[in-house]
Amino acid sequence: MSSHVLTAVAWPYANGPRHIGHVSGFGVPADVFARYQRMIGNQVLMVSGTDEHGTPIQVQAEKEGLSTRELADKYNRVIVEDLAGLGLSYDLFTRTTTNNHYTVVQNIFTALYENDYVVAKTSLGAVSPSTGRTLPDRYIEGTCPICGYEGARGDQCDNCGNQLDPADLINPVSRINGETPEFVETEHFFLDLPAFAEALTAWLKTRKDWRPNVLKFSQNFIDDLKPRAITRDLDWGVPVPLEGWRDQPMKRLYVWFDAVIGYLSASIEWAQRSGDPDAWKQWWQDPEALGFYFMGKDNIVFHSVIWPALLLGHNGKGDHGGTEGVYGQLDLPDEVVSSEFLTMSGAKFATSRGLVIYVRDFLAEFGPDALRYYIAAAGPENADADFTWEEFVRRNNSELANEWGNLVNRSISMAHKNNGEIPTAGELTEADDRLLTASRAAFDTVGDLLGKRRFKNALAEAMRLVGLANAYLSETEPWKLKDDPARRDTVLHVALQVVSDANTLLTPFLPHAAQKVFEALGGEGVWAAQPQIRTVSQDDGPDYPVLMGDYTTQQAVWESRPIVAGTVLDKPKPLFAKLDAELGRTGPEWAPIG
């Protein structure tokens, strides 16, 4: 019986195009996982969208001379196109400025409010003296009053892990323009996070397979929970659904609150667009369903503490009890799968310093699979990883082109030249059996690693099989067996079977290349389905682009499928292009090293 697997992917912020550091944290790992889960027969729902509220969107809009809505529309489309080009197989990639999202967010807020997990109180809010606009906590930096770290943010200190209030910082300044913020009294709603400490602690104790850094960080954060502001003084965001608040032009729900609810709202929107409005419940209300959340390490606390707290509050499961909200009993995450940072020249990617490689530039130059392979093989799965052009070129040339591409090309080329089809295998030798046994066994090994979210090790195991197949061809030398065509055909049949198996193993990582290999082996139809950009409509709102896809008709299944002798083979085309070694020293002109 198949399982329902929610793949919830962090929402990229729509204040500019995304760079390769972003997709290494949330995009590629989630897609590798989702594609594998579909291949083993599970029912996957992969959702996300662009995060479009908050002050940073307004600030960028002013810089570009656009309205806030125009800026959100602009970068929503850019990001949708980039993620489609990368082949991320979303069931729905939407946005937070939809009527559906507003409704779901307001319903969650109402459930929390009615269960007494939201309280109003007066607090000090940071305001920009030059614009009069509220500054988000994360856009204020200063010295931590607890540990003395000079780069602490207004919501927490990354050095000591403590929650902070912007007014507590020593020498606070705005990250937007460097000015010292003013702190003024204002009334806001606060989420009573301490009321969930006991329930969250008990829940985290049941999380046995999480990455150690995620679990430790989350447990430490719970030790010092404080009420957290849930509304903000600004005019861009989801209105507060209460009398006396709903129509106030400068009171909106905080962007951190509405963004995490997007996983649920996107699932509900997907269900509505699929023709079965209740379909989302299979992934959210079934205790047997599994939910995996993918993001970079700077988003851990929002997914491992705050989002579970919102779900508990909606379910009536905190210290105050309560009744479940309109969405019934909602499942908490099964795992928060956090990646570390992809850096460049030892520093975080930074557009302001020219230290950035945008996804669309990379795709235009090198295509999607070269980037997907690099992220999976050398990305920041468990530790920060530094991107260098030299390492990218080396992996592309020696691993993708020389090892995998060469194995595919020479195996199919020899069979095409000598037979014009997949040859028939004769009697197998010990060497033949050894390679075929290793090929079949790889499905369990690689599959187990993918299921445990150990993508780097899984890819290494798949490539190990590629190495064994190359060694087999070098040892058997079928090009020298002109006088023994039966043996030559057997060797080529074995090699092509392993090419087929390895292609299946690599499909979650390299879906575009996998389609080409499938066709080169004589396959017809869709092997690895790709997402599609669709323009959708909504009631009383503008049309917008989304990513969706029909992944049910693809032929990729996680098993060794016997190749069929007699299948016609055409002369293959090179699978991967080798890159000039000079690129490894300089990089393209559009990607300054800083």
Q: What angle do CA 542, 548, 551 make, to 5 degrees?
A: 165
Task: Encode pLDDT of 255-300 as tens digits.
Answer: 999 999 999 999 999 999 999 999 999 999 999 999 999 999 989 9
| CB-based burial label for 490 (10 Å; 0-12, 13-18, 19+) | buried
**What is the 3-state secondary structure of 17-32?**
CCEHHHHHHCHHHHHH
Which amino acid makes up residue 50?
T
Give the integer Cα–Cα distance in Å for 254 and 233.
Answer: 9
- Under 8 Å between Cβ of 203 and 174: no
DSSP alpha helix (H) spans, 421-484: 430-451, 455-476
18-32, 151-165, 235-249, 259-273: segment of lowest average pLDDT? 151-165
- Under 8 Å between Cβ of 139 and 98: no
Instruction: Return the number of other C-beta atoms located less than 10 Å from residue 249's C-beta.
Output: 8
Average pLDDT, integer, range 100-128: 94
Report pLDDT for 592: 45
Task: Encode pLDDT of 130-140 as tens digits.
Answer: 887 778 777 89
Looking at residue 320, the DSSP 8-state letter turns out to be T
C-alpha closest to that of 407 among 379, 435, 430, 427: 435
28-32, 156-160, 496-500, 502-506: segment of lowest average pLDDT? 156-160
Give the integer Cα–Cα distance in Å for 562 and 560.
Answer: 6
Task: Encode pLDDT of 169-200 as tens digits.
Answer: 999 999 888 999 999 888 999 999 999 999 99
Whether 527 has a pLDDT exceeding 70, the answer reads yes
Q: Are strands 92-95 and 43-50 parallel, antiparallel or unpaired?
A: parallel
187-196, 217-226, 400-409: segment of lowest average pLDDT? 217-226
Length of the chain measured in residues: 594
- Tokens 């970079």 belong to residue: 296
57-61, 323-327, 387-391: segment of lowest average pLDDT? 57-61
String of b and e for 497-529 (b: at least 16 CB within 10 Å)? bbbbbbbbbbbbbbbbbbbbbbebbbbeeebbb
Give the integer Cα–Cα distance in Å for 239 and 245.
Answer: 8
Looking at residue 409, the DSSP 8-state letter turns out to be H
Region of residue 141 (left: phi > 0; alpha: psi -120 to 50; beta: else): beta
How many CA atoms within 13 Å lie on the side-chain side of 110?
Answer: 15
372-381, 411-420, 539-548: segment of lowest average pLDDT? 539-548
pTM: 0.92
Give the integer Cα–Cα distance in Å for 441 and 29.
Answer: 23
Give the integer Cα–Cα distance in Å for 43 and 4.
Answer: 5
Task: Encode pLDDT of 50-100 as tens digits.
Answer: 999 988 898 899 899 999 999 999 999 999 999 999 999 999 999 999 999
Looking at residue 544, the DSSP 8-state letter turns out to be E
Task: Encode pLDDT of 286-296 as tens digits.
Answer: 999 999 999 99
Percent of the chain with pLDDT over 90: 81
- Under 8 Å between Cβ of 502 and 439: yes
- Under 8 Å between Cβ of 565 and 424: yes
Report pLDDT for 11: 97
**Average pLDDT along the chain:** 94
C-alpha closest to that of 122 among 36, 28, 185: 185
Average pLDDT, integer, range 136-149: 89
Give the integer Cα–Cα distance in Å for 16 and 392.
Answer: 25
| CB-based burial label for 160 (10 Å; 0-12, 13-18, 19+) | middle
* 405 strand-pairing partners: none
- Tokens 């912007």 belong to residue: 166
Report pLDDT for 235: 87
Report pLDDT for 354: 65
Whether 591 has a pLDDT exceeding 60, the answer reads no
What tokens were used for 139? 């856009």
CB under 8 Å to 202, separation ≥6 — which residues? Answer: none
Report pLDDT for 246: 87
How many CA atoms within 13 Å lie on the side-chain side of 472?
Answer: 30
Which amino acid makes up residue 375?
I
What tokens were used for 533? 């950009």
Q: What is the distance in angstroms between the CA of the first residue and the CA of the last residue of the chain?
A: 52
Report pLDDT for 135: 81
- Under 8 Å between Cβ of 549 and 531: yes
Give the integer Cα–Cα distance in Å for 198 and 222.
Answer: 9
